[in-house]
Structure 1
C-alpha cells in the first residue's frame, strides 16, 4: 500500500491512519486483521466525532433509528402471521431495521454502550457528557419508536391476523419476570456492543453486514430483548389495545417499569460491562499514543471526569496533533490574543519586552475574529485569514525588534472569548497577555456561556492590560503577599531588566502602630521575589485605593493582582468595582494566576488562594493579594449583544468586507445552538511555523520547505 502524504488538517478518523501499524478508520485496502489496539483507536476516533455532536443532530439521528426499529417490529409481526408463528422463519427479517441503522449511521442507544463509554474510560469525556449523550439518543429512539407504533396502530398497516400476531409478540415481555428480563437484555446488550466492536474490526462491508445480520437474528432466536423494540411494543399495545395507564397486570405503567426498565438496565450493563470493559482491558497501555492522539496527554482530572464542567472541563479534544507538534519544543512563550491589529501594538510590545528576558522567548500573536452568528465559518474564514495576516505585519515587526521569535495565527469563531481559553489549553503558553476594553472580544464574552465555566480553572497565567499610552519606565506594584501579586512581581522584575524600569513596592497597613510590621513584611517579600533593589513604600492610612492613586501619580504602570473571586469573570460581568482603575492616569496591568482552590471551594464557594507565609515574616491576608479590596461588589448581568462588525485591518476595511460577504453567503443558515451544545468549530489558521528553523532540514539532510503555511480546523 502506497504511503501518501496527508494534509495538516486531517480529520480525526484520518489521523488513525498514521498509527504505528497503519490501521485506517475509513475505507481503504488494508490487511486482513487489526490488533485490539487498532480497533480501539478506530472506536475512539468515531466516538470523538459523536460526542461532540449537537443535541439536535443526536436527537434526530436517534429518532431515525427509532423509526428504523419500527421496521423490525413490523416485519417481525408480519412474518409471524404469514409463517403461522414459525420460530425461525418468523424472525428471518428481524435484523433489517438494525441494518438500516448501521448503514445509515443512525444513533441507537445500545450501540452507544461502546464508543462514548470507551472515550469516558480514557478520561477524555466526563460522565456528565456520557449521560447527556445517552439521554439525547435514548429520547430520540423512544420518540421514533412511539411515532412508529402510532402509525402501525392507526394507519392500517397491520390488518387481520397480523394485528393478532403483533399483539402476541408485544405481550410476551409482560409474562417474564424482572430479573429474567434483565439478564436476557444483558445478553442482548452484549450482542449489540459486540457487533459494534466487530464492525470496527471488519475490513470490508460484506463481512460487516453478515455479522450484523447474524448477530441481530440471535436476539429473537434466543428470546432476548432490545429496549427500543420493547418500548415500541408497549406503545403499540397502548394504542392498539387501549391498555390502561395503571392498575392492571398489562398496563402502560407495568409496561414501562416492569418491562422496558429492566430491559434498559440489562442492555446497558451488558454492553458496558460484558463488552466494553472486557475489550478495553485487553488493549495495551499504548493503545492511543501510537495513533498520535495528543489528547491523551491532557486527560480530565478525576473531579472533572466525575463532575464535568462543574469542576472545570467536560471533554478533551483528541486531535491536537498540529498544536502539539507546533509548540512541543518551544520555551518561554507568551500568547497575545488581539482583536484589532491597528491598535493593539502596545499589548504586543509589552509581551515582547517580557519574552525578551528569555533566550527562548517567543510571542504568539493570535488575531481572534468574532464571526456573526449566521456566518458560515468555512465560507469566509479564508478571506478573513488573508486580510488578518496582512494586518499583523506591523505587529510582527514590533516583536521582532526585541530579538525574539514571533508566530501569528488567526482564529475565526462564533465564540471568540471562549476560543482564547481553548487556544491556551491546546498550546500551553507560559502566560496569556490581552487587552481590556469594550471591543468585540469582551462583548462576545458577555454573550457566551457563563464565564465561571471558563475561568474557574485557568490554563496558565493571565495578564490583562488597560493601557492609555504604554510606558513601563516607572512601575508601581501594590502587594499584601498573595500569589497574584507574586505574578506581578515576576513581571516587574523582568521589566526592570529588559526595559530598565524603576519599581516601587507598596504595602498598606491599618495605622502607624502596624508600620514596623509592614516594613518587615515588605522587605522580606521583596527579597523573596528578586526585587530587593526596588523602592519600598509602606502607607499606614489603611485605605488601599487612595494609597494606590497617591503613589500612581509618579508612576507610568500599575500592576494589580486578583482576589479570591478572580479578575477575568469580574471584568466580563462588569462587576469589578475598583475605582483605582479609572482614577489613575497611567496604564494598569491586571494579573491572575491559576487557582489552587479545592474542588469543594470551586463548587460551593469562592474559596481562597493558597498562600504560604514569606520566610521570616508574618503571613499577610491572601484575600488582599493585590493590595486592593475587590470583594465588595454586586454581580452584573452577562447579556450584552455581540458586536458583529468591526474594521480591524486597514482603512479600506477589507477584512470586514470579507466577513460581511461571508455572512451574506450564509444568510440562510439560521440554525440556533443551545448553550450546552458544542458550537460550530472555530477555524484556526497558522500563518507561519514558529519552529521551522528546527525542521529546516529533513531526515535526509535536505532543506525542508520552510514556507509552508498550515491551516487547521478544530
Structure 2
C-alpha cells in the first residue's frame, strides 16, 4: 500500500508521449533465432542417432511421396492446359513428407548440419546420415517411377506431358541445373527453419505450401523429383542411365546441397548469438575435438551424448582403474563386487561405475535430463555399498545417449582405465550393439583390456581357465590370480592337445604358464582329446566360473556371430568371463580371422 492508502495496481502506468509504457516486459509472440536453433539441434540429435533401418525406410516413404508430386503435376497439366494450375497441387507430396515427419534429403541440409557446426556430431556421421536418407529417397522414387511407367496410372496425354517434363530437365545445361537446384535447396532448408519457428500446424501448412509452390513456378529443380523423372524417362523413353544421372540428377543434387548448406544453414547459424546453446539441455556438454569432428570414430567418437556427468579425471599412475558400464544398476551389483575384488589386489584400486541410459526419443528439455540424472545418481549411490569390505575407491557417473554401446568405448578412451568390465545378457549394453554399428569396434583397436561377463551368480569359488597362450590368455591369468588373492579362489588350468603324444609338451607348457602368472598352486590338467568345446563344457560342470581368452576375431565379432565361446556360454551353468587384450590387428584380420590363438 502507498502512504495515501491506495494500491500500486490502482496507479495508471507511466507512459511516453506516444502512449508506450515505460515499465514492464515485452512478451515475445515468436521464437528468437537462438530458440529456433536450439529446437533444430535438439531434433537433429534424434535424427542423426537413428538406426540405418529407421532412416532408410523413412527415406523410402519420402521418396515414394515425391511420386505424388510428379503424378499430379503431369496429370493436372493435361486436364487444365495450364502449368500454373497444375503447379497448385505440386506441393502436396512435400506437405505429406514434412507434416508426416519423413526423411527428405534436402530437408536434412539443415538440422544435421547445425549439429555438425556445433561439433556435437562429426562430419563422417553427417555424411553417413545424408547417404542413408538419399539412398532411401532414391529407392522410394524408383518404386514410384516403376509404378507410373508400368502401372497404367498415367493417361496417354499425361504420359506425353511426363515425358516432356523429364526431357526438359535433361536438356537443361548442367550449370543452369546447379543454380536452379541451389535456389530450390535454399527454399527447402528455409522451410525447415520456419517450420521450427512456427508454433502451430496451420502456419506450417501455409509456409510449406507457398514455399514448395515456388519450385514449379520458378522453374527450379528438386533432386528427388528429378531422379524420379529421369528414371521414368529411362523406362518409357531412350534416356541412358549415365546421361540421366551425370547430366541431370547430379548437378541438381549438388545445387540442392550447396543451396541448403551455405545459403541457409551457415547464414542462419551465424545470425544466432554466441549464447545460442547456453541452456540446460546443453549444459556441461563437451564438444568433439577437431580430430574427432573430422574423422569421427576413426579418431575416437562421432557423437556427443545428451547427458554426460563425468568430470575430467587426473590419472594417478599408480592407480589401477576398472570401468564398469552398466545399463541397470538394480540388477548389476555383482559386476561391482567382481570389479572390487580384482581392483583391491593392485595396491591402489578404483572402480568407476558409469550408468549408460538409452536416451528417450526427441528428449529436448532440461527437466527430462535432470530427472534421469537424479534417478541414476540415486541408483549409483546404492551400488557403492557393494564395495564395502574391499579396499577400493568408488566413483560413478551417468551418460544419457542414443548410442549406448559406442559410449562404452568413448568413456574408456576418456578415462583411460586399465580394464573395462562389461555385463553381457538380456537388457545389457551388448544388446544395443546389433542396432548400432559393429564395424565401429572392428575399425578401432580396443582402448584397454576388456572383460565381458555372463553373470550366473559370479561365484569365484572354483575357476576353470582354459589356455593355449597368447595375450588374451595372459589377461585371463591375471584375472584368475587377482581372484585367488582376493577371495581365495581355487583355479584349474586346462590345456587341450591333439593326442597322447603331446601330453608331455602340454604339461611343460602349463607348468611354465602357471609360474609366469604366479598361480603355481593351480590344478593343471592336460586333455588329449583335441575336442576343445566339449572338453571345456565337461570340465565346467565342476566349476563356478570359467575365464576364456579372446580369439583373433575380436570380442564384438565373436559375440555377434555364432562362435566357439558363445556356444560355451550357452551350454555351461557357470558364470563365464571373456577376456580380450588390445592387439594390433588389421581390419581384414578382425573381419575374416578364423579365431586361432597366437602361439
TM band (smaller chain): 0.5 to 0.7
Aligned residues: 514
Look up the SS of the partner of 2:585 in the other structure: coil
- Equivalence for 1:183: 175
Mapped partners of 1:352, 1:567: distance in 2: 23
State the match for 1:334 in structure 2: 323
Question: Of 153, 156, 164, which aligns to 1:171?
Answer: 164
The 5-angstrom pairing of residues 273-422 of structure 1 reads 276=261, 296=288, 299=292, 316=302, 318-322=303-307, 324-326=308-310, 329=313, 332-335=321-324, 337=326, 346-356=334-344, 358=348, 360-364=350-354, 397-402=385-390, 404-405=393-394, 421-422=405-406
Retained in 1: the 8 A contact 2:511–2:520? Answer: no
The separation in 1 between residues aligned to 2:333 and 2:208, in whole angstroms, is 62
TM-superposed CA distance for 1:122, in Å, is 2.9
Note if 1:67 corresponds to 2:68: yes
1:27-176 → structure 2 map (5 Å cutoff): 28-30=31-33, 45=45, 48=48, 53-68=54-69, 70-71=71-72, 81-82=81-82, 93=88, 96-97=91-92, 100=95, 104=99, 106-112=102-108, 122-125=122-125, 130-141=130-141, 143=143, 153-154=154-155, 167=160, 170-171=163-164, 173-174=166-167
Contact 1:347 1:433 in 2 (8 A): yes
| 2:369 equivalent in structure 1 | none
Task: Summarize the Cα distance change of 1:40–1:106 in structure 2 as closer, same or farther, 3 Å threshold.
Answer: closer
Q: What whole-Å deviation, never above 9, does each CA across 1:499-526 have from its counterpart, x for those lacking one? A: 5668898889957689889877876xx4
Give the 3 Å change call, closer, same or farther, for CA 592–209 of structure 1 in structure 2: same
Shift of residue 401, structure 1, vs aligned partner: 4.3
Matched with 1:217 is 214
Take 2:380 and 2:547, find their aligned partners in 1: how far apart are those partners?
Answer: 27
CA distance in 2, matches of 1:31, 1:447: 35
Correspondences of 1:383-532 after superposition (within 5 Å): 397-402=385-390, 404-405=393-394, 421-422=405-406, 424-425=408-409, 427-428=411-412, 430=417, 431-433=419-421, 440=426, 456=442, 461-464=450-453, 470-471=459-460, 481-492=469-480, 494-495=482-483, 498-499=486-487, 526=516
Aligned match for 1:590, one of 566, 569, 578: 578
Which string of whole-angstrom CA distances, capped at 9 and with x for unpartnered residues, describes residues 253-276 of structure 1?
A: 428775577322221122345664
Give the drift of 1:296. Answer: 3.3
Partner of 2:253: 268
**Which of 588, 592, 606 is the matching residue for 2:593?**
606
CA distance in 2, matches of 1:235, 1:551: 63
Does the CA-based 8 Å contact 1:190-1:274 persist in structure 2?
Answer: yes
CA distance in 2, matches of 1:262, 1:541: 69
Alignment deviations for residues 571-592 of structure 1 (CA, whole Å, 9 cap, x no partner):
6766427999999998664312
Work out the CA distance in 2 between the residues paired with 1:126 and 1:103: 20
Show the 5 A alignment for 1:206-245. Answer: 217=214, 221=218, 223-230=219-226
CA offset digits 1:204-253 (Å, max 9, x no partner): 558998899579637654x55445545666799x8xxxxxx87xxxx434
- Cα deviation, 1:429-470, whole Å, max 9, x if unaligned, reads 84454567xx7469x969967996687466761232566772
Flag the 1:287–1:139 CA change in 2: closer, same or farther, 3 A.
farther
Cα pair 1:67 1:147 within 8 Å, conserved: no
Alignment CA distance shift 1:574-1:327 (3 Å): farther
- Mapped to 1, the partners of 2:507 and 2:377 lie a distance apart of 54
Deviation, structure 1 residue 175: 6.0
| Counterparts of 1:33 and 1:571, CA distance in 2 | 43
Q: 1:225 to 1:184 in 2, by over 3 A?
A: farther
> Are 1:506 and 1:536, in contact at CA under 8 Å, matched by a contact in 2?
no
Name the structure with the higher helix share: 2
Which blocks of at least 5 consecutive residues in structure 1 are unaligned? 1-25, 157-162, 239-244, 306-311, 369-384, 609-620, 625-714
Distance (Å, rounded) in 2 between the aligned partners of 1:46 and 1:173: 36
Moved more, 593-602 or 115-124: 115-124
* Aligned alpha-carbon RMSD (Å): 6.5
- Give the drift of 1:61: 3.6
User: Normalised by the size of structure 2, how large is the TM-score?
Assistant: 0.59
Mapped contact 1:463–1:590 kept (Cα < 8 A):
yes
Q: How many angstroms does 1:133 deviate by?
A: 1.7
Gaps of 5+ in 2: 1-28, 316-320, 359-372
Aligned partners of 1:193, 1:276: CA distance in 2, in Å?
Answer: 8
Q: Distance in 1 between matches of 2:580 and 2:350?
A: 24
> How much has 1:320 moved relative to structure 2?
0.9
CA 1:287–1:478 in 2, change beyond 3 Å: closer, same or farther? Answer: farther
Match of residue 193 from structure 1: 185
Contact 1:108–1:141 (Cα < 8 Å) also in 2: no
Residue 194 of structure 1: how far off its partner (Å): 2.4
Aligned to 1:139, the other structure's residue is in SS state: helix
User: Are the aligned partners of 2:454 and 2:569 in contact in 1 as well (CA < 8 Å)?
Assistant: no
TM-score by length of 1: 0.52
Q: Does the 8 Å CA contact 1:511/1:540 hold for their aligned counterparts?
A: yes
In the TM superposition, what is the alpha-carbon distance from 1:491 to its structure 2 partner?
2.9
2: distance between equivalents of 1:147 and 1:168? Answer: 16
Structure 1 contact 41–288 (Cα < 8 Å) conserved: no
What is the SS of the residue equivalent to 2:323? strand
Distance 1:493 1:289, change over 3 A: farther
Is residue 463–residue 492 contact of structure 2 (8 Å, CA) maintained in 1?
Answer: yes
* 1:4 equivalent in structure 2: none
